[in-house]
A and B are shown apart, each in its own frame.
Chain A
Amino acid sequence: MPFESVVELRAALDAGRTCALELAEAALARAEAARGLGAFLRLRPEGARAEAAESDARRARGERLSPLDGVPLAIKDNLIQEGEPCGCASRILEGFVAPYQGTPVARLLAAGAVILGRTNMDEFAMGSSTENSARGPTRNPWDAERVPGGSSGGSAAAVAVGIVPGALGSDTGGSIRQPASLSGVVGLKPTYGRVSRYGLVAFASSLDQVGPLARSALDCALLLEAIAGHDPADSTSLPDPVPRYRDALSGDVRGLRIGLPREFFEERSAADPAVLACVREALGELERAGAELRAVGLPHAQHAIATYYLIATAEASSNLARYDGVRFGRRAAAASLGEMYRRTRSQGFGPEVKRRILLGTYVLSAGYYDAYYRKAMKIRTLLRRDFEAAFADCDVLASPTSPEVAFRIGEKSKDPLRMYLSDIYTVSANLAGVPAISLPCGFAHALPVGLQLLGRPLDEATLLRAADAYQRRTDWHLRRPGAAP
């Protein structure tokens, strides 16, 4: 049953119209049929069947089941699952098998979900197009000549094409929201610390966050409920209790104050006018539903990309120092330890990862630390203050998710800086730690456009409520790409 939501699949299971094993088999068959899309790096037919059979057994025993029980889902290749390979779409992790269970996957399994497989991504989540995968790109389901966005492009494409109703991704600078936008699905980056990162391969530790992609706000709410919450194994995870997000989805946005950052909407702003027109129309729909629109300022947002690329590369250069061929992954033959390090890393990392390691090493090196890294951390403070001021008068902020629709494969791969600017609207949320969601709000040039809503820290409920209210009034999220198997 392609394109059925988590909620619909669960209803079909409850009514006895299908069983978890049948759903898993059908999803595996769809994934096989859509191999050309490149959404999955690895399918788990045996594991998925075993998990599905357990779900059916729980149901037969009359156990109390979570909303995800028996539902097939996909996970990004940077989230470990015990006993399964985890490669981050990199050559350097070839052969690595996770020796323990990561918390996001553990929580999905505890909720009864069936893990169908591991999705493609930019190597180590570094990219905005899923072209930086050592295993080849993922294609956009709406136009196979275009990218699905990135870095969680495999997860976005798998959901967009109806293989699974939901997937997990990770978002360091927009890696859930931008592919959600370009592929026409919903993607939520929770508040920094809302979801445990125990078992997420680290990229930039002060920015990384795990979150869901799905086709509806309601399904995102159900996925977030399952994975969110404090984890003693992640010292950055927040202790705050997890609300029942689905209960917040009242359909009512009357009086909701939506701030429009002037910098994101003005004439000389970054976006394609056709994208901005879709976003304005979506905001008009929310206004007709009773929301209030008001202009706000985020004066430091124009510096977010530069700030982000200093911080993210510095942290990445440190986090990726562990890939040295000693304890896991690929090792190049060499006569000495130093030679082994250099050969292993040079052969194992792709060009974008090397570029970022070099930039990060430079930014942190003697004589440059204050000028670059510390300076970026200070501008981050200014940006955080911008958000605090904006949220004093607004409940959420709105912008396009991406300045443009899906671009052509290869169009930006020779120009790293232009690729970085794909994240122009998304990186601010990571720098400030606030939650943000992207939802489909129309089409420009026959390709999906995403509306981004940003919220106060830990106020995912309001984002989901606004997104759900919009989806009750529109049907953009129900459109299906021609490439569906």
Chain B
Amino acid sequence: MLPGNPGKQDRGLVWALGAGATFGTMARIERGEVERIADLARLELAPDEAERMTAELEAILAYVESLRAIETDSVEPTYHAIPLATPLRDDRAAAVLSAERVVANAPERDGFAFVVPKVLDEDEA
């Protein structure tokens, strides 16, 4: 079920959905998949949060399904709207942030090093 059913206020939704999609088209995304993605993104979701996110992502993915109908086989992707060359500079040392400034925001530090909890545990090993 799409959150917020289309009503009078959803003129934009109807328009932007275009011809290729209907509200009945549901992208298949399971809660387990959302939890797997959350793990990849290093996010923990509470059970009710996972439930809600699954429904919301499903609605958003159903919406973007309309793009599938567009023929793009011979179209090159645009990664940047304005063409840019990779700028080069002379290989000379320049002024950079001092080590003190680099670590100034560290939640925990030891001299100029960032201190973190142990890297390996049962989950991570």
Contact = CB atoms under 8 A, between A and B. Distances in A.
Interface of A: 95-97, 99-100, 191-193, 206, 232, 235-236, 238, 268-272, 300, 302-307, 309-310, 317, 321, 324-331, 334-343, 345-346, 349, 351, 354-355, 357-359, 361-362, 365, 371-372, 374-382, 384, 403, 414-418, 420-421, 424, 430-434, 457
Given A357-B43, A358-B43, A378 B18 contact: no
Interface in B38-72: 38, 40-45, 49, 53, 56-57, 59-61, 63-64, 66-68, 70, 72
Contacts of A382: 70, 72, 75
A303 B2 CA distance: 19
Contacts of A317: 41
B123 interface: yes
A325 B40 contact: no
Given A379-B70, A417-B2, A268 B14 contact: yes
Contacts of B118: 335-337
B64 A337 contact: no
Nearest to A412: B4
Contact of B4 (A303, A330, A415): A415
B63 A417 contact: yes
A337 B117 contact: yes
A339 B117 CA distance: 9
Contacts of B105: 95-97, 99, 327-329
A300 B9 CA distance: 23
A270 B78 contact: no
A397 B49 CA distance: 42
A325 B80 CA distance: 30
A418 B15 contact: no
Contacts of B116: 326, 337, 340
Interface residues on B, range: 35 or more
Contacts of B93: none
11 contacts: A96-B105, A206-B80, A235-B84, A269-B15, A303-B70, A328-B106, A336-B117, A337-B117, A362-B29, A377-B77, A433-B80
B26 interface: no
A381 B80 contact: no
Contacts of B40: 361, 365
Interface string B9-27: 1111111101000000000
B110 interface: no
Nearest to B74: A378
Interface of B: 2-4, 9-16, 18, 29, 33-34, 37-38, 40-45, 49, 53, 56-57, 59-61, 63-64, 66-68, 70, 72, 75-82, 84, 86-87, 89, 97, 101-108, 114, 116-121, 123-124
Given A99-B104, A307-B67, A381-B76, A433 B81 contact: yes
A376 B63 CA distance: 13
Contacts of A330: 107
Majority secondary structure, B binding face: loop
A273 B60 CA distance: 26
Given A335-B117, A339-B121, A415-B4, 4 more contacts: A270-B16, A306-B63, A355-B57, A377-B79
B66 to A, nearest CB: 6
A378 to B, nearest CB: 4
B82 A433 contact: yes
A201 B70 CA distance: 34
A95 to B, nearest CB: 7
Given A346-B43, A418-B4, A327 B106 contact: yes
Contacts of B2: 417
Contacts of B53: 354-355, 358
Contacts of A206: 79-81
Given A337-B116, A372-B64, A417-B4, A378 B10 contact: no
B47 to A, nearest CB: 13
Contact of B42 (A268, A269, A324, A336): A324
Contact of B78 (A268, A272, A380, A421): A380
A99 B97 contact: yes
Nearest to A191: B82
Contacts of B89: 232
A328 B108 CA distance: 9
A347 to B, nearest CB: 9
A106 B108 CA distance: 30
Contact of B72 (A100, A326, A362, A375): A375
A374 B35 CA distance: 24
B101 A100 contact: yes
A2 to B, nearest CB: 35
Contacts of A357: 41, 43
